[in-house]
Structure formats: structure tokens, C-alpha cells
Structure 1
């Protein structure tokens, strides 16, 4: 990367037309938007189009996109091979009640790459993929319970989202974390079926399974939990998850909806985990809605109906629709082993440069992540679990200021400073990211914060 220099803050972007659309949206949507994840401060940015690594909003502002629709777009926006293939397909039909060859082709690609997959079923979202993976574990084991990692995000299925939230006032002692309800009114029966353990805590997982293992269907785990802090897994913890699951006769369900982008063979293979089931999504749809559940032939037989009603019926009007199947196959074919390795190296170079800036200034920040993902924490020490990564009030204000600074300088950095990269990005884009971080570290805001500490 080039030598970094402090540069003046760019002129704040105009939001006139975005404000106009937001006012219209408030008349038809609760809070004016249709996703809780949309940043509304001071107003949502309404996007007109995307071009490679950038998006352009309705006011004509151009931004480097470190969100990529929540890690979905591994090739960035308007990836031409996908656009051409889908454009041709639209004239021949977008969905049918019967199967097409396109679903077989994408399934073959996934099975060829990902060691844990022998059979696959397609659904329409990551939430559905996790939901059916949990249901498959229940159908296979005959048990209702789920053990999951505190603070990790697994979509909107009740038994997957119980325990994804929490704060110092609600999460309980480290030795016995509390399963915090994900929303007001969540049934107590759901909470009683979900037990929570801390990431990288072998002793805690051992104690928990000694208590609830006999009624647990699966351990649900993201190999590098993003929402919990993009945490690095300890090899001994991955091994413990594996051995304890076998000891208690339950399944390991890996949620790779987001982290499949970590390597050609996915995140589980990268970190030495051998799951019974994997939930996939995001990048395997090429920018279109998709989800997939895959695993061993033995476990996946719960979906089979060739001998009558299956143990677990699964359908879906748009499951395996040809548009998502074709777009996903084209996008994934372009992600060769060499393409994954190049994106991995690109991400590592950015993370190293961000850490160099932190070391140079002595600022109280750390960087987590791997492959094409990074997260900037307003903490001196890199977090190892949800609790150590949880920001206090002052740290939340720092993260907000960091994201605002990036926005003012033409970069969309998601809330929480959790970023993802795409193959459309260049070395110049990397320099822009690091330079922008450097100017933030040199700002009066950070200097004042450091002085106060």
C-alpha cells in the first residue's frame, strides 16, 4: 500500500432527495424503512445504482461500499457475468413449480467445494437455512433443545435469535449466561429450549452440556461470530465443540450464511470444524435471495420423501428459483481458489495497515476479522467473546463518530465498523480506507478521548 497521509475531511454530502424519499417512506412504513438494520441518522441514504465497489445515492453522492448488502455481494455491484446470465434467463421464466437443471448445477458446485456437504436443500434466505438446519437436527435426534453462542446472530427464527442480545444488566454471570429474549413477548417456552454459552469458553460449554446435553439437538455456531464482534475462534474451542457434541450425541450446525466467504471451502474447513449440517446463504445467490442447508447423506435423509412423508417436510414457493440458482452459480464459479486467496490477501493487507495506524498513534483501538472481513473496535485489547467486545457508552459514541467520519469521506462503513470487501475493490480503495482511518485517529475527537482516559 502507498504511504498514508492525513487529508482534510471531504465536503459533507447532500441528502436532499434521500430526505424526500424518507418522508414518503414514513407515511407507509413503521419508522420509515423496511429493515431495522438501515441507518437513519440523520436520514437513510436511498441508493440509485451500484457500480462495482461503489454505490451512488439519489443525490448523486458516490460511496465506496464496505457493506455490500451485509456481505452478500462478493463481486460488488453490477457484476457483469451475473447480469448477463440473469438478463437472458428473465425471458425464459423466473420461477416454476417444477425443478430445473440450474438447482442441480449450484448444488453440485457447493458439494464439490465444501467438505461437510453431501446433500443440499435450497430455501430463500439465511434465516430459513438456519431454521431448517435446527429443525433437521431435531428431526434427526428427536430432541428439542439448542445450544448457541452468546451474542451471535443467526437470523429471525425464534430458537435461533434467543440469546443473540444482552447487556451487562441482563446477560448474567460468565459461568452461567442467561438466554436473553430477542424481542418483547418472546415465548418463555422458546427461551427454555435455548441455552447459551460464551465463545471460546471450553469450561463453560462443558458445564452447560453436562446439564442440558441430554435434551439438546444441536450446537449452533458461527465459526467467526460477526455480530458478536467478528471473533477469532480458538482451535482448542473448535475441537471441544466437536468432541463434546459427539460425547452427548448431538449435532454441530455451522451457520456460514455470512462466513462462507472466508475461503473456497468455507469457514468451518478454515478453522478445523467438521459440522453435521451447514447453513449457507448470501454469496451463493449472486445478489438474489437464497439459502441452503447441507450436510451428510445420513442427516439429510430427514428431508427425503421417496418412502412417504419425510421426518421434516420442507418446501417454499421460491425455493431453488432459477434466477437465484443461475446467479449464484455464476458468482461462485468466478470465485476460484485463486480469487479467494487474492481477496484473503487483500483483506490481510488492509487489517495490517489499520493496525499499523493504531500502533503509530497509540490509540485505543483493535482490529478483528479474517479473509475479506474486518471490524474496528474502540478497545485497546482485541475481544475474544461477546462480553469483551461489548461497547460501553463512550465506546459506542466513538464507533458512531468513526462511521460518520467514513461517510463524510465517501465510504459506507456499517454500524459497529464491521466491513466486508469485494473483488471489485482496488489497491486505491484500500489506501482510501486506511487513509480515512488515519485522519480519524488524528482528529481532535480522538485526541480529546485519549486525553480524557
Structure 2
């Protein structure tokens, strides 16, 4: 296996990108793929590490955008899937495997009494919103400014504001997420300024008669991976309950915060939870869970359901089995070990920043962390937003890490996996220390 040569791509990645440009717009088929200037193509994953098509080996702190909580090639899941493949990969009929995974989620997540499976986190959020609309008979949703919730129009609007477009904190502007988005979408969205308790009460109450739900990410990744203030959570929940508005927690990413998820960690009792990523064991998955009362909108046993949710590959046995095996391995002890490693890493990064008096701060909890090119810890999306110079500083850091054999996301959350060791944590901290030593005193 080759040691990475700086941050350069190898010739095989270059050749594949040349092929990709002929068949994909922009050369790639996911907007989230990092190009610097071209993407790095991967040959295989091996535990906590990736090996690219040029034979270079990298410690992976992306983990397919926090999905792979056990790292790559988790053997118990692979063995279970291998045994299952000969029996078939998908059917139009249900299997026992979907019940097994649903029972695990119901047993584990306090707010979840019943579940419906889909294929992505985007679908999970979309159907949670539809369920809230069907249950309340109202069309509108409230969400946190800058929070990412996938690609459903009403979920993604308002996540791309900039200083020139986002308006005042007291009345954030609902910025369209793509050219040509219907203007009517913005009319059905109320944006909340994160951790502004008084503002949340005021804006929710003002639109209460139209609001079906409040879409709440307990710790928005794109908003800076900042924990919620208890008074903000209380303001949102109390105002929602007062006006008959449902609370939907998007834990597609943040379910990995604890054995029972992020809602339980922060004392939130949502009506619906959207899940995904880690519950699929590395295969496509999404889930909507919640109280029997609200989940009844999906029940079509006595006629047409209020919300018809299907999906050709929903609850496919491969995702169900891989997810169950992976989640069974995520015991309370496994979550505790990941959190201990996360605390150790965040403390080591913060100590290095202090020693160098560098203009960086670290946020995150449990197995999640994010480095910000800021003098102080951001409190919301606006403060976490990076200027061009700050974005350049983070890109330089990501390049430095790649040159040292580590994949570090430049502008979103980094994540740990159970495949990592204490030596891996030490390596991350050591590379960061060397980056701060090598970087000019002021790089942006």
C-alpha cells in the first residue's frame, strides 16, 4: 500500500474523472463529492481506512457523510448479507427482517412506537412532513435557518442563505435552494434563528394556524454542529404544544449521538423522528417513526391511507439485515467508547489550538466533531458561515490532512467509527498539530 504523496491525485483517479466527465454533468453524480480539483476514486474500504484506485491509504473521517459508524467492511454485517443474497435481494412481499429492525428501533428510541421504512434520509424527512400535514390539516412547516434536511423542496429551502441574502436574524429570509424553485414554497416556510428562544416563540405563534410541524435538527451539522440551548428547545416544544403543532426531529445524522439518539440526549419528546444513515449498516435506508397516534396516517388497512407511502426498494431485506446487525453491535458500551474517543480528540485539538494561539475552534459531541476557522465558537448558522478566506483556510487544512493520509471534510462534520483505535486518534491530533506549526500565523 502506498503512502499518500502530498495531496495530489494519482493517475488512475485522473483517468476515471476524464471518463466521468463524458457521462455525468460536472463529472460526478453526487453534489457532495469533493473535487480539489478532481475527485479521488476509491478502490475499497478497510475498517477505518480507505484505499484509492492508485493504492494510497487514508484514515477516513468522512465515513460516507457519517453513515459508517463501524467503518468499512464491518464483518458481521457483510457475513449476514452474504448469507442472505442467495435467498433474494428484494420482494414485493414483506419479510421478517423488516420487523426485526423495526422492533430494535422501537425498543431503543423513546419517541418511536411505530416505524415505516424508506430508502434515504431525504425520503424520511419528506414523509414525516407529509404525515404532519395529513395529521394536522395544515400546509406549512417551520425549520431552523441553515439546517440541512435533504432534497425535498420544503425541507431544503432556507439552507443556503448568505450575508447578502439572509436578512435580519429576527425575520430570516427564506432563500430558494435552486434556480426555478416555485415561489410558493417560500410562502409555506417559517425560518427560526437557532438558539433564539424568544424569536422562536414569537415566529411560531404568529404562524401557528398554518403550521403543521416544526422540523428540528437537534444539532444542525451545516449550522455549525452546535448543541441546542435548553431554553431554545423548551421554547420550541412549549409553543408547539400550545398550538397543536407537531415536532419532527431529523436524526438522520444525529441518531449516532447516543444509544437512544439525539432527541433523548437533549430531552426532546418529538411526535415524529426521521432516521437513516447508521441504521442501514452501509446500505440505503431511511425511516419515519413516531407515536401510534401520528403514525396512523400511514395506515391503509381500512381504506386509503391519509399518506400513501410505498417505494420499490423500501424495507428491502439487504438493508434491513445489515442495519439490524450493525445496530445490535452498537451497544451502550460501544456508544460510550465512541464518545470517549470523541472527547479525547476534541480536547486534543483544542489544546493544540491553545498552544499555537491559532484562530480555530472545535465543536461537536459524541463521535462528531467540526473544526471552524473562527476566533470563537459559532452560536448559529450565520456565525458558522465561512467567508471566502475562511473557506480557503479549511481547504488548505483538508489538503494538508490528505497529504498525511487522512480524509478530513473541509466544510462539514467529521465522524469517528468503532473501527478506529487510540492510535488513530493520536494520529489525527498529531497531524493537526503539525498543520498549525506549518501554517502561517495568519492564513486568512
> What TM-score do you get using the length of structure 2 for normalisation?
0.98
Does the C-alpha gap of structure 1 residues 319 and 275 become closer, same or farther in structure 2, counting only changes over 3 Å?
A: same
Give the distance between the partners of 1:11 and 1:210, measured in 2 at CA. Answer: 54
- Residue 432 of structure 2 is matched in structure 1 by 437
**Secondary structure in 2 matching 1:112:** helix
Equivalent residue, structure 2, for 1:239: 234
Matches within 5 A, 1:223-302: 223-302=218-297
Instruction: Provide the rounded CA distance (Å) in 1 between the counterparts of 2:392 and 2:16.
Output: 27
- How far apart are the structure 2 equivalents of 1:231 and 1:184? 29
Query: What CA distance in whole angstroms lies between the structure 2 residues aligned with 1:425 and 1:213?
Result: 46
Q: Distance in 2 between matches of 1:446 and 1:424?
A: 34
2:6, 2:402 within 8 Å by CA — same for their partners in 1? Answer: no
Q: Give the corresponding residue for 2:130.
A: 135
User: Moved runs in structure 1, 4+ residues, more than 6 A?
Assistant: none
Equivalent residue for 2:190? Answer: 195
Deviation by residue 1:68-126 (Cα, 9 ceiling, x = unmatched): 00011000000000000001111000000000000000000000000000000000000
**Which of 150, 163, 171 lines up with 2:166 in the alignment?**
171
Which ranges of structure 2 fall in alignment gaps of 5 or more residues?
none
Alignment check: 8 A CA contact 1:117 1:294 kept = yes
Q: CA deviation at 1:39?
A: 1.0
Match of 1:156 in 2: 151
- Counterpart selection for 1:51 from 46, 69, 74: 46
1:216 equivalent to 2:231? Answer no
- Cα deviation 1:293-337 (Å, max 9, x = unaligned): 000000000000111111111100000000000000000000001
Following superposition, the deviation at residue 410 of structure 1 comes to 0.6
Partner of 2:342: 347
* Aligned residue in 2 for 1:205: 200
**Which residue pairs with 2:374 in the alignment?**
379
Judge conservation of contact 1:152–1:222 (CA < 8 Å) in 2. yes
Give me the whole-angstrom Cα distance separating, in 2, the residues matched to 1:13 and 1:342: 34
Match of 1:124 among 119, 123, 140: 119
Give unpaired runs (5+ residues) of structure 1: 1-8
SS in structure 2 of the partner of residue 204 of structure 1: helix
Look up the match of 1:446. Answer: 440
Secondary structure in 1 matching 2:213: strand
The SS at the match of 2:59 is: strand
CA distance in 1, matches of 2:183, 2:208: 20
Equivalent pair of 1:47/1:55 in contact (CA under 8 Å) = yes
**DSSP-derived class of the 1:446 partner:** coil
How far did 1:11 drift?
Answer: 4.1
1:25 corresponds to which of 20, 26, 33: 20
Distance 1:440 1:256 in 2: 33
**1:413 & 1:423 partners in 2: Cα distance?**
17
**Does 2:406 correspond to 1:416?**
no
Is the 1:403–1:417 contact (alpha carbons within 8 Å) kept by the matching residues of 2? no
Contact 2:397 2:410 in 1 (8 A): no
Q: Tell me, in whole angstroms, the C-alpha distance in 1 between the residues paired with 2:274 and 2:7.
A: 41
Corresponding residue number in structure 1 for 2:33: 38
Equivalent residue, structure 1, for 2:401: 406
Question: What is the rounded CA distance, in whole Å, between the counterparts of 1:49 and 1:10 in structure 2?
Answer: 19
SS in structure 1 of the partner of residue 165 of structure 2: coil
Shift of 1:173: 0.6
1:320 aligns with 2:315: yes
State the Cα distance separating 1:12 from its structure 2 match.
4.4
Tell me by how many angstroms 1:237 deviates. 1.0
Does the CA-based 8 Å contact 2:48-2:419 persist in structure 1? Answer: yes
Q: How high is the TM-score relative to the length of structure 1? A: 0.96
Question: How far apart in 2 are the matches of 1:412 and 1:190?
Answer: 37
Greater shift after overlay, 302-311 or 10-19? 10-19
CA apart distance, 1:210: 2.3
* Distance in 2, Cα, partners of 1:14 & 1:230: 30
Task: Assess if the C-alpha contact under 8 Å between 2:198 and 2:235 holds in 1.
Answer: no
